[in-house]
Amino acid sequence: MPNYIAYHFIVSPLQPGCDILISELGDLGFDSFTENETGFDAYITEDLENALDLNPLQFEDFKYTFSKEHIQQTNWNAEWEKNFEPVLVDELLLIRAPFHPSNSHVKFEIEIMPKMSFGTGHHDTTWLMCKHLFNINLQQKSVLDMGCGTGVLAILAKKLGATKVIGIDIDEWSVENGIENCIANNCSDIEIKLGDKEELIQYNNFDIILANINKNVLKVQMPLYASLLKANGVLLLSGFFNTDVEELEKLAQTLHLKLERTFTKNNWAVMKLGKA
């Protein structure tokens, strides 16, 4: 087992900074990430770290700083468990890693080995999306999870009764991780695909579309979501601040989507939109 180097990143603002930086670091060889209140921790093997150069990673939309810590082989499992805590969504759902104990007091559990994928439930947007999926009738519904990351939302939709569930992500490592997590949760019939909005051309309409991405991507893709949504369908969006809701609602109105509810947590928002 190789030695690892832990990079402790502080990112401001957290979004879209964390999403973008995690994606870039994955391409450089980092293979595990754990989110926290100020950013995230990223892990890379010592042999890859020797040739690592982060100087080209400069961004206009956010700033970051980092510190490094060498992790001995014998401490790797303990370090991983220390930094990745299970996520409890009220008494409805427990999102945990395989090394966490089960909890018989919650309605559902989802086992996630996050590796390099975003969507462990720690971020407020994922937590909000999970919570409010419980308020949507998913029985016998078709569901699209756009930007599926770990696949946690797709898996939850399946457990809540959806029949056809498709997850799409632009990152190959997210697709691999999503498939792995679907199998671990006995949801191997979920389709996890590599691609972007172009991948949607082959599919028919959906009852429910989930998109936890970021405001700029949502603005570009919302017209496509609207065209793929069945009448009386639901579009659940997150990945943006509550101050962005008004702008997104104006766009939604031009697409004949009606804002039904807004939910917030620590300045992050979820919009539930309906199609007449």
Please state the rounded mean pLDDT for residues 247-254.
Answer: 96
Q: How many structural domains is the chain composed of?
A: 2
What DSSP character marks residue 31?
Answer: -
Q: Is residue 202 in some structural domain?
A: yes
The per-residue pLDDT for range 213-238, each reduced to its tens digit, is 888 889 999 999 999 999 999 999 99
Q: Let me know: does 189 contact 157? Beta carbons within 8 Å.
A: no
Are 230 and 131 part of one and the same domain? yes
The distance of Cα 83 from the centroid of its chain, to the nearest Å, equals 18
Are 128 and 254 part of one and the same domain? yes
Give the model's pLDDT for residue 13. Answer: 93
Residue 98 preceded by cis peptide, ω within 30: no
Q: Is residue 96 in some structural domain?
A: no
Q: Cα–Cα distance between 274 and 17 in angstroms, integer?
A: 29
What's the whole-model pTM score?
0.73
Q: Is residue 109 in some structural domain?
A: no
Please state the rounded mean pLDDT for residues 149-162.
Answer: 95
Q: Let me know: does 59 contact 32? Beta carbons within 8 Å.
A: no
Are 125 and 41 part of one and the same domain? no
Question: Which residue among 83, 101, 134 closes a domain?
Answer: 83
Q: Let me know: does 167 contact 154? Beta carbons within 8 Å.
A: yes
Give the model's pLDDT for residue 193. Answer: 94
In the Cβ-directed half-sphere of 168, how many Cα atoms lie within 13 Å?
A: 15
Give the model's pLDDT for residue 160. Answer: 97
The per-residue pLDDT for range 34-47, each reduced to its tens digit, is 788 899 988 888 88
Question: Which residue among 83, 103, 132 closes a domain?
Answer: 83
Give the model's pLDDT for residue 202. Answer: 85
Are 139 and 247 part of one and the same domain? yes
Are 72 and 162 part of one and the same domain? no
Q: Is residue 198 in some structural domain?
A: yes
202: Cβ contacts below 8 Å, ≥ 6 apart? none
Are 12 and 77 part of one and the same domain? yes
Are 142 and 250 part of one and the same domain? yes
Residue 270 pLDDT exceeds 90: yes
Give the model's pLDDT for residue 120. Answer: 67
Among the ranges given (6-10, 157-161, 212-216), the one the predictor scored with the smallest mean pLDDT: 212-216
Q: Is residue 63 in some structural domain?
A: yes
In the Cβ-directed half-sphere of 257, how many Cα atoms lie within 13 Å?
A: 28
The per-residue pLDDT for range 97-128, each reduced to its tens digit, is 887 888 889 999 999 876 645 666 677 888 99
Are 262 and 194 part of one and the same domain? yes
Question: Which residue among 57, 83, 109 closes a domain?
Answer: 83
**Residue range(s) defining the domain that contains residue 38:** 4-83
Are 46 and 142 part of one and the same domain? no
Are 61 and 133 part of one and the same domain? no
- The chain-wide mean pLDDT, for the chain, equals 88
**Radius of gyration for the chain, computed over Cα atoms and rounded to the nearest angstrom:** 18
Q: Is residue 105 in some structural domain?
A: no
CATH number of the domain bearing residue 260 = 3.40.50.150
Are 74 and 136 part of one and the same domain? no
Are 71 and 144 part of one and the same domain? no
Q: How big is the chain, counted in residues?
A: 276
Q: Cα–Cα distance between 245 and 233 in angstroms, integer?
A: 20
Walk across the sheet containing 108-111 and list its strands. 87-89, 93-96, 108-111
Instruction: Classify strands 142-146 and 206-212 as parallel, antiparallel or unpaired.
Output: parallel
The per-residue pLDDT for range 159-209, each reduced to its tens digit, is 999 999 999 998 887 898 899 999 999 999 999 999 988 888 888 899 999
Q: Is residue 253 in some structural domain?
A: yes
Q: Cα–Cα distance between 37 and 39 in angstroms, integer?
A: 6
Nearest to 42 by CA among 14, 15, 78, 4: 4
